[in-house]
């Protein structure tokens, strides 16, 4: 079984790619919506949540953990990877695979990163791109309101459009040709971002990037499921169960009724 966690529904964009790429695997997803949003929390708060959820999922006998949250990755990724190494459970995060793809596909070397304030403050993407040893020009834009808009069901009114347009302006001024969507919620508004930035800007999303990395990791370890049938998927949330079911069904286009359980975790 593969464990996946996020601050809310955003990580479902990652889970969707996993269900497409690795349909025979079993999944358990923790949406920490009771502590949403992550993007404005301190490093200490994010670390505490990440450790609590990781310990919980390790007790579920998972074979691999996916941190499907950029803010949690930026704050607690190294510590959780260390926990995984000690437990013998691989831990994969979203930052590295996205940065690798962005660096590979940019033609101008001008890369944008749209992310939460916590992720931007960590410079996680800037460091990951610097580690590639190429002279990229990285423009990072903090979008404090975007994940909450999406988590709330993203009503597309004029105020939302203006908010998203304001986040895109510095990216357009920097003339980026590649944009990393540095929050797993953001692919859910990718069509709007594409319209505002233009079709020549390539969008890099976490789900597509990390699915390949997970498949390679499991294959190398001989841990790929080969049952010949569709795996199971279950959801645990710390917040509103009915709201998660509604949004999750809409995003995944899968029936989540009866598959979502409310839990108290690390309170």
Among all residues, which ones are annotated catalytic? Answer: 69, 183
CA-only gyration radius of the chain, Å: 18
- DSSP assignment of 193-240: HHHHH-TTSEEE-HHHHHHHHHHHHHHHTT-----SS---EEEEESS-
Rounded distance between C-alpha atoms, residue 53 and residue 84, angstroms: 13
- Continuous segment of H or E residues that includes residue 30: strand 27-31
Distance spanning both ends of the chain, measured CA to CA: 25
Q: Which residues contact 183 (CB under 8 A, 6 or more apart)?
A: 10, 39, 70, 71, 114, 115, 116, 119, 143, 146, 147
SS3 164: helix
Query: CA-CA distances (angstroms) from residue 41 to 82, 118, 257?
Result: 22, 7, 31
Contact 137, 113 (CB under 8 A): no
């Amino acid at each position: 079984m593969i464990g996946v966690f996020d601050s809310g529904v955003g990580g479902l964009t990652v889970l969707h790619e996993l269900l497409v790429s690795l349909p025979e695997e079993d999944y358990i997803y923790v949406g920490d919506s009771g502590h949403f949003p992550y993007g404005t929390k301190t490093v200490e708060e994010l670390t505490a949540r990440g450790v609590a959820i990781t310990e919980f999922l390790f007790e579920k006998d998972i074979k691999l953990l996916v941190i499907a949250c950029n803010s949690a990755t930026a704050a607690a990724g190294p510590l959780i990877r260390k926990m995984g190494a000690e437990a013998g459970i691989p831990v994969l995060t979203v930052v590295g695979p996205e940065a690798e793809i962005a660096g590979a596909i940019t033609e101008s070397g001008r890369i944008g990163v749209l992310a939460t304030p916590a992720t931007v403050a960590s410079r996680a993407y800037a460091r990951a791109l610097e580690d590639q040893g190429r002279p990229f020009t990285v423009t990072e834009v903090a979008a404090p309101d975007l994940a909450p808009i999406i988590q709330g069901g993203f009503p597309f009114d004029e105020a939302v459009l203006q908010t998203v347009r304001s986040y895109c302006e510095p990216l357009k001024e920097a003339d980026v040709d590649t944009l990393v969507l540095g929050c797993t919620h953001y692919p859910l508004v990718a069509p709007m971002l594409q319209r505002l930035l233009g079709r020549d800007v390539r969008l890099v999303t976490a789900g597509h990037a990390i699915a390949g990395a997970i498949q390679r990791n499991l294959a190398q370890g001989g841990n790929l499921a080969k049952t010949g049938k569709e795996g199971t998927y279950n959801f645990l949330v710390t917040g509103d169960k009915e709201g998660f079911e509604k949004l999750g069904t809409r995003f995944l286009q899968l029936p989540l009724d009866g598959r979502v359980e409310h839990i108290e975790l690390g309170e």
